Chain A
Amino acid sequence: MSVPSPVRSLDELRCLAKRLRCHVVRMITAAKSGHPGGSLSAAELITALYFGGVLRHDPAAPRDPNRDRFIMSKGHAVPILYAALAEAGYFPVEQLLTLRKLGSPLQGHPSKADMPIMEASTGSLGQGLSVGIGLALAAKLDGADYRTYVMVGDGEAEEGQVWEAAMSAAARKLDNLVCILDYNKCQLDGPICEILNWEPVPDKWAAFGWHVIEVDGHDLAAVLAAFADAKTVTGKPVCLVAHTVKGEGVSFMAGNNEWHGKAPTPEECAAAVCELA
């Protein structure tokens, strides 16, 4: 049976967020390729989901039909998810260092084919929210009370499919669906404001019929409160607009979009790990 994960103190959660960041940096360094920035910006959000009692999940019963679903739609940020799953006990922590290696289930982007606990295969941006709608509809059809959470990037939200999904989730009144927008203000080629500048971001989701909750995505207490809030909303899907900093937690990566998709050198890794210890 999937049960809410044991609730930890805020201090414990903050420690865990650091540990996940450490894993991310080490994994990407060992892989010699990957995307640190978007993993690090999501560290508190993922920590809250998996260890803060937000997601109903059980590593001993990973296929439990009543588990809450989490989809990492911005698939390039999967290292932070792998780190959380390993720390939660879904697979050994040592396996994290096989990221992106031939034969590893820890594919460069989430692969449900190679790792069935991924709720969707992603990496081609824009697709996860639609799959999340399907899961949320299935839950309603079955009278099941599991909830579906989808993490979307702010650059990713430039894909038209995201807005097709936004319309259909609202039309279906999917109050069992939460979109978590990692609003780190950067995409691959640079800052969002220099490329598509799709502000005002929260207003757009609201105009599409979503209940919008804005939160500081690095303030764990606030993030937990926001997720708790989301569970009380009825008749509408919830978009949690999480204000974050790309690369947060490592001084030389924070706010520097050069670290969108670049692996640290072993020296840079050591420096980052030292900061996070």
Chain B
Amino acid sequence: MQLGKATREAYGEALAALGAEMPELVVLDADLSKSTMSKKFADKFPDRFFNMGIAEANMVGVAAGLAAGGKIPFASSFASFLICKGFDQLRMAVAYQGENAKFCGTHAGISIGEDGVSQQGIEDVALACTLNGFVVLVPADEHEMRAAVRAAAHHHGPVYLRAGRPKAPVVYPGGKDVFTIGKADTVRDGKDVTIIACGLMTGAALEAAEALAAQGISARVLNMASVKPLDDDAVRNAARQTGALVVAEEHIAHGGLGSLVAMTVAAAVPVPVEFVNMGNRYAESGTPEELLAKYGLTAADIAAAAKRAMARK
């Protein structure tokens, strides 16, 4: 697949574009603005940008206060630091009263590569999903990220966005203008099995579907960037219409997209589900490609899971 920009780059670009339209938009970062790309906003709107230093918990609390003061704050850091260090503040200062604050965790997953475990946000989606009232978005490519940032800015309430470090395969070659929170996109139709994916895994799912097609298997691919609220209708329809599901995410096994899909399926249309994720373990240093292969997150892993799911029908 064709590689586009990294979703973190699209995050920075989207903020810089929105800054002109929304004077109440303010941006915070914790000494990673060159990496999260919030610097793109800082360069254009220095007065509305706050580099809070290496102090993520404080940054989250300050974002809550800015929201309470009528601003629309977007605060970013690596997913691991933002969510783990800022968690109590996200819960008490933001989620509890539904402050209108937005957060973006970048360099998520193991595709950050060589830096290793300390920098790899692998449990952020699970933790963010436990924050009541939060919307949790994991866009697949640069186009979807730009639309998601806009949707987040216009949504009243807390939002967590997840972005990646590497260039992401283009899932929406024609662009994506509107992001609807709570709606999945069928990015490829199929009838034998459905692959539900988000983030970097949506590109891999499309590759897997292509490989399966060559073997006579028709796989649907649902891009579930809106992890919370989940598009329950799309999940139920996929379960009914294709009879087997695969959930693929760059995350530990517990608590992410797989867990949410499983709850919906178990409650409504119990069909076989196979899970593609890194398991409940810590990874290590390595190139993004090596890590994705070693920790079971390739198109081949997804295709194999699709066959396992179909065999259990």
Interface residues of A (CB under 8 A from B): 31-34, 75, 100-104, 107-109, 111, 113-114, 121-126, 155-156, 158-160, 187-189, 195-196
Contact = CB atoms under 8 A, between A and B. Distances in A.
A160 B285 contact: no
A126 B53 CA distance: 12
Contacts of B117: 107, 109, 111, 113, 121, 123
B284 A123 contact: no
Contact of A189 (B33, B81, B114): B33
Interface pairs A-B: 4 shortest CB-CB: A123-B118, A102-B286, A196-B53, A108-B116
A109 B85 contact: no
Q: Among the interface residues B53, B54, B84, B287, which one has the most CB atoms of the partner chain A within 10 A?
A: B54
Contacts of A159: 54-55, 85
Contacts of A160: 55, 57-58
Given A107-B284, A156-B54, A196-B53, 19 more contacts: A33-B113, A100-B115, A100-B116, A101-B285, A101-B286, A102-B284, A108-B116, A108-B118, A108-B119, A111-B284, A114-B284, A124-B84, A126-B54, A155-B53, A158-B31, A159-B54, A187-B31, A195-B51, A196-B55
B113 A124 contact: no
Nearest to B32: A188
B296 to A, nearest CB: 14
Contacts of B286: 100-103
A184 B33 CA distance: 20
Contacts of A32: 114
Contact of A31 (B84, B114, B118): B114
Interface string B24-55: 00000101111100010000000000011111
A102 B285 contact: yes
A32 B53 CA distance: 27
Contacts of B51: 189, 195
Given A113-B282, A124-B81, A189 B34 contact: yes
A125 B84 CA distance: 12
A195 B81 contact: no
A189 B32 CA distance: 6
A156 B115 CA distance: 17
B93 to A, nearest CB: 14
Nearest to A113: B282
B112 to A, nearest CB: 10
A100 B32 contact: no
14 contacts: A31-B114, A100-B285, A108-B114, A108-B115, A109-B119, A111-B284, A113-B282, A123-B119, A124-B80, A124-B84, A126-B85, A159-B85, A160-B58, A196-B53
B221 interface: no
Contacts of B84: 124
A159 B115 CA distance: 20
Contacts of A187: 31, 53-54
A29 B84 CA distance: 31
